[in-house]
Amino acid sequence: MTVGGGYFNVLAVVLRTSDESPWTNEFDKIELSCLIESISTTNPRIEWKKITNGGPSYVYFDRKVSGDLENRAVIREPATLLITNATRSDTAKYRCEVTAADDLKSFDEIVINLIVRVKPVVPKCSVPKSVPFGKSAELSCVEDEGFPKSQYQWFKNNEEIPDDPKTSLKFTNSSYTLNADTGTLKFIAVRKEDGGDYFCRAKNDAGFSQCPAQLMEVYDIDVLGIALGVLVVVIVLLCITVGICCAYKRGFFSSEKQTGNNYKVPAKGDGVDYVRTEDEGDFRHKSSFVI
């Protein structure tokens, strides 16, 4: 490289790594190195831009930090950008641009891909309080704040549940499936030994969080008691049915009553007419004489 001829080159030195993809945890500091190896221009123009889906935007321009990093970043001479308090929104590509008017190659740039890792928050866990022996059960665990995406672990009585029950003597008789990506723990048929305190842990490269333990009880189904209960109900219904039939046969439910409307008029005798009066609602007779 010939300094006198004005040739210069911009290199990126990644913090703790040799590539251009530095990472840091949320709220920590991170340095985006932009080193000028050779240059003849006395005061080159240095700019930093943040590149997102919405396009590039300035974070350092005209010797001032601006945009998302204002009050959270400084420039270390000559061109290194130091973020003092990284947030999840800082995850993006950053471009360092150097313009040297007096050099033969007047422009160069590098692109750095920054990843800010976010610790998971306390996951939401769902554990059934009680499950009948031999029935299926599902436990769920989820959180959406961590970056990269969280992986999930389940624990029973403070002991980690393995992905495959056959790999552990304590869980070899259990029948379940565990999905570390979704956080679901499904029991195909619970056993008495499956009862206990369960909690879930969400973890990623930034750390982990876990929910409080919840008790799951496994109880036996009283088949004999259920059968006796059904039998008692059947007997009671049968007795009621027989009683109703007997009552009908003995006429206890007869609704026929003798009233003024269904009163049968006696047969007419010779010389006697029967007249019904409106006031009395009954019949009286009068004599008729035949001359």
Per DSSP, 89 falls in state G
Domain residue ranges in the chain: 14-117, 124-219
Range from 102-111, 144-153, 203-212 carrying the lowest mean pLDDT: 102-111
Predicted confidence at residue 9, as pLDDT, reads 47
For residue 278, give Cα distances in angstroms to 275, 282, 286: 10, 8, 16
Predicted confidence at residue 80, as pLDDT, reads 92
- pLDDT at residue 281 greater than cutoff 80: no
Burial of 42 (0-12, 13-18, 19+ CB in 10 A): exposed
Is residue 10 within 8 A of residue 41, CB to CB? The reply is no
Q: Across residues 243-266, what is the average pLDDT? A: 62
Range from 53-57, 105-109, 215-219 carrying the lowest mean pLDDT: 105-109
Classified as helix, coil or strand, 67 is helix
d(C-alpha 150, C-alpha 138), whole Å: 20
The pTM score is 0.65
Q: 166-198: per-residue pLDDT in tens?
A: 888 889 889 999 999 999 999 999 999 999 999
Q: How many CB atoms lie within 10 A of CB 162?
A: 16
CATH fold group of domain 14-117: Immunoglobulin-like (2.60.40)
d(C-alpha 127, C-alpha 139), whole Å: 5
CATH architecture for segment(s) 124-219: Sandwich (2.60)
Whether the domain at 14-117 and the domain at 124-219 fall into the same CATH topology: yes
